[in-house]
A and B are shown apart, each in its own frame.
Chain A
Amino acid sequence: MKDTRIFKLGSFVLLPMAFLLLASCALAQTPQATPPPPAAPRSVQFPKPVDKTLPNGLRVIVVQRTQLPLVTAQVLIKSGGEVDPSDLAGAADMTASLLTRGTATRTATQIAEAVEALGGSIGSGGGWDASTITTSVMSSRIDPALAILSDVVRNPAFQDEEIERLRRQYLNNLRVALGTPGSIARFVAARVVFRDAPYGHPLSGTPESVPRLKRDDIVRLHGMYYRPDNVILVIGGDIAPKDGFALAEKYFGDWTRPATELPPFQVGTPVSDASTRRILVIDKPDAGQTAVLFARTGINRTSPDYFRGIVSNAILSGYSGRLNWEIRVKRGLSYGAGSSFDMRRWSGAFTASVQTKNESGAEVASLTVSEVSGLGTRDLPDSEMTTRKASLLGGFARGMETINGMVSQVSSLALYGVSLDEINRYVANVQAIKADEVKNFAATHLNTGNVIVVGDAKKFLPALQKEFPQVEVIPVAELDLNSASLRRQTSKN
């Protein structure tokens, strides 16, 4: 059942699509030698989410789609890894993960049994700005599934035994992640961009912070942030809004809002600039491939530059985006190159990432920097704008075609307080962006950035130093993810 497939392009997700159209390029007429032109396009409407706030402050959103008898329900706690105390990286993620591992009346195994017996699934975890608990079931089983969803959010037991079990799992997962060049590069990039600010640590903690986390820390975090006025419940799929609202009332309506004020969001993150730019090599001599990451601060999700940002990214990323085109298609240097804006409550990061053989680490690093920083200066023809926007819109529409994709899109808008109508304005907003706006945006927001290269340094370091004189090298054994210096201060192992 779990088949082994090797794709033309990796990280392919089986998302479908819906469609919208654009300038259909007029193609020539000869039937065999040139492609037949497209017929007239059909337009598409995305479902309209309906929302309501319960008296206790909990916001409920229902988005109905009835083709298949499936429902996904997601609880968002509007606090995630950004609220981790600075010495307790991983606290929010671990708190969220523990929810499904035991409540006052159900053990971890009973929770899994109950949901899986319905043919469904339940999972929880921390993001940066939110913690999520999600269940998916056949629509006929949504009532018992929501009963469990409510129980795990409201009444987690946080038993010592489960905390210890999860702690060991986190430490094992970290060992594997720290053996993987791409994961190391992402951990390091967060520290380089955000330094000691809230987004700087690994979301699931470090080998040093995970052992420090105590039950009290978890109980305190749950008590502070898991309250109805800090929650959004999104229910999507084969369910009518009135039924969704009734279920929300049934399982979350009697959850009391505490009298205390919700803690304010923490202050935003520092912005990196040219003067703090780092070119950092993590030397991992046994790496089978080198991971190259370009990273810098990005923009907020609510920034007026949002659409300029995502269109700029679409020029760079995707199969025929500039990065993959230059690095994979033209030069055969990688299986895939791409970039993304992770737009958060405070400026998230922009990252471009590529993996290549150790020997071509330096060449790929300079190509990546050149393509990203070149977006603001090089020519950007309208034809490129048209095709890259089409690709962006297609991806959006495909994402909306599954219930899980639709729920995650709605959740993301709701989390950042963006109007839910944006779903049906998305196409127009993207189409409105002009080439000049992209270039101006890129000249300010993508002009420079940090470079992180993780791999067998002896194979690329001399070439990299020619291109970037300020290279810092940290042997992987001396890497310390707990501080912005990234280097273990005392130990010499």
Chain B
Amino acid sequence: MRRSPISKLAACLMILAALATANAQTKFPRINFRQRMLANGLRVLSVVDKSSPTVAINVWYHVGSKDDPEQRSGFAHLFEHIMFKATRNMKDEMMDRLTEDVGGSNNAFTQDDVTVYFEIVPSNYLETLLWAEADRLSGLTVNEAAFHSERAVVEEEFRQSVLAPPYGKFFYLLDQKSFNAHPYKRPTIGSIEDLEAATLENVQKFHETYYRPDNATLLVVGDFDPKQLDAWVDKYFASIPKPNLPLPRVEAKEPPRTGEKRFVEYGKNVPLSAVGLTYLVPDERSDDAPALELTDIILSRGRSSRLYQSLVYQQQIAQSANANADLREDAGIFQLTAIIAAGKKPEDAEASLRAEIKKLQDAPVSAAELEKAKNQIITSQLRQLETNNGKALALGQAGVLRGDPNRVNSDLERLQAVTAADVQRVAKKYFTDENRYVIYYLPESARAPSGSENKNHPGNQSKGANAQ
């Protein structure tokens, strides 16, 4: 169904009204950032906040698990770990010496589209960390022993996230079954087999290809002097050359789904069965993204949410039920999942999830329900802004993944402008029968005794999507 026609002026008034509602109650702070581009292509985004003597530093590299080399699923993430090993001027684990040892902290994460490194340190260490980030952007000198040892750590991470928890393999498979052509079908955590095949040569090649100033965004948020920051950035980053090599980008497009697909998977350790539904939806820059994000909240945020109320509370068919608008750079999936209560059938849980979808399509959500979801979003965004690193991550997502750092402020306005008709429209548009994939995750004991099916040992998975 088409969106009901609203004049531009009416739409603007609605936005203002929505903001006024929020503003009447709270002073939602804007993030006042500054942007700089160096000649070598490095983008620098910074926000001054002197409320505590600390500073958060992020470096976002626009490379993620979708860029894993062929037969090397999990490589971008393994590489992320290797970035904490030796560089030209730093020994293995020196990043920990410069952060943890002085009361700071560091970590990094890999997603489908990006790899993000961050440090939170006392602000008098800002220059030290800029030096260190510039050094590992300039090159790695990791040796064979350190590489093998860290690869073993990542294999343990695979076991800890996929094999040990009862639903690790379910979520591992859910993503894997959701894409057909796009490399999103490969798991971010990879497989033991592909990790074992990775070499030090792959590491050098990956760094050379993707770790370059024109593929990086540096973020600094906290207690610093802007002029001083500019001088330090010039001193440590400006001399890093922009390579002449082309920067490869994933070209594959995920084709529209053309009919329902159903999968049944089994696990060795499944205390309660699980069901997942996925729908292919647009990428996170799409105009429909805010309505999908609100739909996620309406379905699953809190005990008054629709899925909790219907599957967990009233029907008691599920131990837990969740929705997730997992929107990525090139495409998104909208997931609905339920861990089934003891004695209940996955078929019934699937029917209940689908009934909730149909409710969204048949009638608009009430004004109160929409308002509630918007208030929940405002509160969670405020929580993110409690910390310098929270602000840096929000700004990085806007700048790198959503293509414009201004979206760190304007996305909230977009979310506030979503109408009940928008939520109904996207539900009708995307949650169709032909766009639905369904996965059942059952204990081995439920397997039909034909014996002809292939055993599906989790350790032997070589394809999949990103781990939870």
Contact = CB atoms under 8 A, between A and B. Distances in A.
A28 to B, nearest CB: 11
Interface stretch (A54-62, A212-220, A271-279, A391-399): A391-399
Contacts of A387: 97, 100-102
A381 interface: no
Contact of A20 (B96, B103, B106, B316): B103
B164 interface: yes
B207 interface: no
Contact of B124 (A40, A120, A139, A355): A40
Given A42-B53, A109-B309, A320 B100 contact: yes
Nearest to B369: A117
Contact of B110 (A6, A67, A138): A6
Interface in B71-112: 77, 80-81, 84, 89, 93, 96-98, 100-112
A36 B342 CA distance: 59
A147 interface: no
B468 A4 contact: yes
Contacts of B80: 6, 8
Contact of B77 (A6, A36, A138, A318): A6
Interface in A113-142: 113, 116-121, 136-141
- Report whether over half of chain A's contact residues are helix, strand or loop; otherwise say mixed: loop
Contacts of A108: 303, 313
Interface stretch (A197-205, A255-263, A296-304, A324-332): A324-332
A55 to B, nearest CB: 33
Q: Which of A1, A8, A120, A121 counts the most chain B CB atoms within 10 A?
A: A8
Contacts of B390: 14, 16
A18 B341 contact: no
A25 to B, nearest CB: 8
Interface stretch (B11-19, B150-158, B352-360, B427-435): B150-158
B29 A356 contact: no
A235 to B, nearest CB: 17
Interface stretch (B36-44, B241-249, B257-265, B377-385): B377-385
Interface in B115-168: 120-125, 127-128, 131-132, 148-153, 155-157, 159-166, 168
Given A18-B54, A68-B385, A335-B160, A169 B29 contact: no
B272 interface: yes
Interface in A1-44: 1-10, 12, 14-22, 24, 31-44
A171 interface: yes
A315 B213 CA distance: 38
A319 interface: yes
A6 B25 contact: no
Nearest to B168: A288
Interface residues of B, number: 111
Contacts, number: 303
B406 interface: no
A378 interface: no
A328 to B, nearest CB: 6
A380 B96 CA distance: 19
Contact of B387 (A113, A117, A401): A401
B235 interface: yes
Contact of A35 (B131, B151, B271): B131
B127 A42 contact: no
B31 to A, nearest CB: 12
Contact of B128 (A36, A139, A182, A401): A36
A69 B26 contact: yes
A293 B323 CA distance: 34
Contact of A332 (B149, B377, B387): B149
Contacts of A141: 25
Contacts of B382: 68-70, 138
Given A2-B324, A335-B157, A287 B110 contact: no
Contact of B53 (A1, A18, A37, A403): A18
B324 A109 contact: no
B103 A1 contact: no
A7 B109 contact: yes
22 contacts: A4-B467, A6-B157, A6-B161, A6-B188, A8-B84, A12-B107, A16-B52, A19-B122, A21-B103, A36-B128, A38-B125, A69-B26, A100-B303, A108-B303, A113-B304, A116-B305, A118-B375, A169-B319, A180-B166, A286-B268, A332-B150, A394-B102
Closest 7 CB pairs of A and B: A288-B163, A16-B387, A119-B375, A332-B152, A394-B103, A42-B53, A112-B303
Given A2-B296, A119-B375, 4 more contacts: A3-B326, A14-B387, A16-B56, A173-B319
